[in-house]
Chain A
Amino acid sequence: MEIEPNVLARARRGDQRAFALLVRHYDPGLRALAYRLLGDRDRMDDALQEAYVRAYRALPGFRGDAALGTWLYRVAYNACMDELRRERQVVPLDSVRERADPRPEPGELLEIRRGLAGALARLPAADRAAVLLVDAQGFDYRSAAEILGVPEGTVASRLNRTRALLRRALDDRLEGASER
C-alpha cells in the first residue's frame, strides 16, 4: 500500500497528523529492522524515536528524488548505527529470545526461530541489515545500497556470505526438528 501524495505533501509542511500516518505506514518494517540490529526493545525505541524526529525535521527538504521509504529506512538505519556506537550496556544479541506466539505452536518451530535469530544475531550489523532489507523486506539491491550507503556490489557480497550462514542455520534446525 502506497502513501497518498497528499499525505506526504501535508507531512512535508509540518502536519503532524499526516506525519503520524507516515510513521504508522512504515513503522512495522522499521521496527523489524531496528530490533534485529539492536536486539533490545528499549534501544529500538530510542533509535526509532530519534529517527522519526530526524525525519520530521528533514522532511521539508525531501523532494522525492529518492523513494520516501528508502529515505526513511536510511534515516532509521543511521539512527540504529548511531545507537550501536553508543557506549552503554549492550544486550548480547545471542540472548535475545524469541517470544512464544500466544497461539499454540509446535515447539520445533519455536526452536527453528530461535536458531535463526541466534545465527542472525552473530552476524555483523551491516550484513544483518542487508539480508533483512532484501530477503525479508523485499528491497531491490539498489534501494538497499542507498539505505546502507554502500555500492550495490557490496550489498551483493554481504548477501552471499550472510545467506550461506543463515541457510545453514535454518537447515540444521529443520533437520534437527525432523529427526526428533
Chain B
Amino acid sequence: MTDDTLTEDRDERLGAALRELDTPEHGADFHRGLRARLAAERRPLWTRRGVRLGAVAAVAAAAAVAVLAVGIPRTQRTPAVGGPRPASAAVVKAQLRKALAGMRTLQGVLVASGPAQHGTERWRFVLDSAGDVRLEGPRAGDVITYDAAAGVARSAQHSASTGADTLFYARRDGVAPGPPDPGPPTWPLPDEFADFVRAALAAGDPAVRETTYLGRPAWRLDVDTVPNRIVPELSGDRFRVTVDQETGMPVQVVELKQGSVLRELSIERLRVNEAVPAATFRLAFPAGAEVMRSDDGFRRVGLAAVAGAVGYAPLVPVTVPAGYRLAEVAVAREGAPTGKEGGNPQSQQVVSLSYRRGLDQFLVTTRLRGAGPWSDPLATGEGFVDHPQRVRFDAGALAGAQAELLLTPRAVPHVWALTDRLVVTVGGDLSRGELLQVAGSLQPR
C-alpha cells in the first residue's frame, strides 16, 4: 500500500476510552525546575538559533549577518575598488573576513528598536577570539557570561515568569564548544536577518552601495526577502544592512515592511581589539545567592588525553585553513541527542575540537555510532528538507565513508560522515573547499 491510497480513519470509541485513562499532573518541582532551566537559557528578544558562529556570534546582530555572509561559498568576482560606483558583495565579504579573522576583542552596545520591537532595548556586549562572551541587559542586573576555556556559562537573569524583580542565578558547567552539541547560551542575534542576508548573498550579488553611517564611510546592502510565515504582519520584506568600511563590521540592520521600518538593530560605541580583563567572562554571584547548577558533561582536556577518555583515537585534521588554530578540546561521555528535533540517538563518547581564527570558528566532532539510525546531526530541522551533496573522500579517516556536504542558508555549512564506528561532523566558518579539505585530511591521532 502506498501513501497515496491510504484511507484515513479514526476509531472514535477507542479514542474516547484512551482519553479516559488517567494522566498524572506534573510533580511538585516540575515547573520550578523548568523555570530555572529556562532562566539559564534565557535569551534576549532578538535571538538566533543555537548553532553556528561560535563566538562571533554573539553579539552584534549585525555582526552575525556579516559572519554568516563570510561563510557563503559563491563565485568570486573581480572586486569593485574605489570610486562612488556600487561595490560588489565580494568586496564586502573580503573586508568582513579580514575584519573577523584579525579581531581579538569586540565590544559595544547593541540597540534594538522599532514598532515591532515593543520599545528600545540595549545590550552591552564583549567577546574575544577565545570564544568568551559577556552580555549585559536589557534590564539592569541581567548578565550572561561564558568562559570558553572552562566551558562554564553563568547568568543572572530576571525571571519573566516568577516576578518582575526576581533575579535567577545559574551556572552551567561542561558546555560543549558548539554545534551539533548544545553550545553556549544563545545570544541576541536575529537569525532570520542572518539567514536572509546569507541566502541573498548565496543566490547572487545584492545591491551594495557606498554610503556613510554616523559620518563614517560605509556600504549598504539592500536585500529583499520573504516575510516569515508565522507572523507576516511582524515580518519584513526587505533588509538594509550597513557595514562600516574601515572595520568591516556591520553597524546597522533595518527591517522594512512595504517601505516602513519595523525594526532596527544597530551597534553603538563599537570598540575593537581593546584589552579585556579575564574576569569579564566570569560572572561573580552574590554571597549566599541560590544558584541553579547544571552540567552538560563536556570536559576540557589536552589532545593527548582524548583517547584515554573516550576509548578511541580522536580524528584530527592534518590541514586547516591559514590562521586557524586548535583552541579547545572537549570530551563528554554522554551528550544530548543531535539532529532534527533531537531525533538522533543519545550521543556517546563525544569529542569536540574547536578551531579559531579571530572571531571565526569551526568544529570537528566525533561520537560513537552505536546501533541506532543516524541522520545529519547538523540538519536544518523544523520541516525543512535539506538537499545535501554526497561526497567521497579518497584518503584520510573518512575514505570510503558515507559522507554528505550541506551548504544551505539556514544551517551551519558542514560535512558529516558515518564511519564504521563514528559519526563525524566538520562545520563552521569555512567555505566549501575548506570544508572538504579539512574533512578529507582527518586522521586518527
Contacts and interface: CB of A to CB of B under 8 A. Distances in A.
Interface of A: 5-6, 8-9, 12-17, 19-20, 23, 27-28, 31-32, 35-36, 41-42, 44-45, 48-49, 52-54, 56-58, 60-66, 71, 74-75, 78-79, 82, 85-86, 98-99, 101, 112-113, 116-117, 120, 131-132, 134-136, 138, 140-141, 146, 149, 151-153, 156-157, 163, 166-167, 170
B6 A131 contact: no
A146 B343 CA distance: 12
B230 interface: yes
A120 B18 contact: yes
Contacts of A85: 345-346
Contacts of B216: none
Nearest to B191: A60
A57 B410 contact: no
A60 B160 contact: no
B240 interface: no
Contact of B161 (A8, A13, A16): A16
Contact of B42 (A14, A45, A167): A14
A138 B384 CA distance: 24
Contact of A65 (B2, B39, B343, B384): B384
Interface string B217-244: 0000000000011110110000000000
A52 B30 CA distance: 11
B279 interface: no
Q: Tell me whether chain A's interface is mostly helix, strand or loop, or mixed.
A: helix
Q: How large is the interface on B (under 10, 10 to 19, 20 to 34, 35 or more residues)?
A: 35 or more
Contacts of A79: 342
A49 B37 contact: yes
Given A14-B44, A45-B30, A28 B23 contact: yes
Contacts of B336: 54
12 contacts: A5-B230, A5-B233, A13-B47, A36-B21, A45-B27, A49-B37, A71-B383, A82-B337, A82-B346, A112-B17, A117-B21, A146-B383
B346 A52 contact: no
Interface in B6-53: 6, 8, 10-15, 17-27, 30, 33-35, 37-39, 41-50
Contacts of A36: 21, 23
A62 B34 CA distance: 21
B27 A78 contact: no
B127 to A, nearest CB: 19
A141 B21 contact: no
A33 B233 CA distance: 34
Given A82-B342, A141-B6, A156-B6, A15 B160 contact: yes
Interface in B380-435: 381-384, 410
Contacts of B10: 134-135, 138
User: For B34, B186, B228, B345, which residue has the most chain A Cβ atoms within 10 angstroms?
Assistant: B34
B1 interface: yes
Given A35-B23, A41-B24, A17 B160 contact: yes
A138 B160 CA distance: 33
B1 A156 contact: yes
Top-6 shortest CB links A-B: A66-B383, A65-B383, A135-B15, A64-B230, A136-B18, A61-B49
B2 A15 contact: no
A78 B342 CA distance: 6
Given A49-B30, A56-B41, A78-B337, A116 B21 contact: yes
B231 A8 contact: yes
A13 B187 CA distance: 11
B159 interface: yes
A45 B25 CA distance: 9
B342 A75 contact: yes
A126 to B, nearest CB: 13
A9 B230 contact: yes
A146 to B, nearest CB: 8
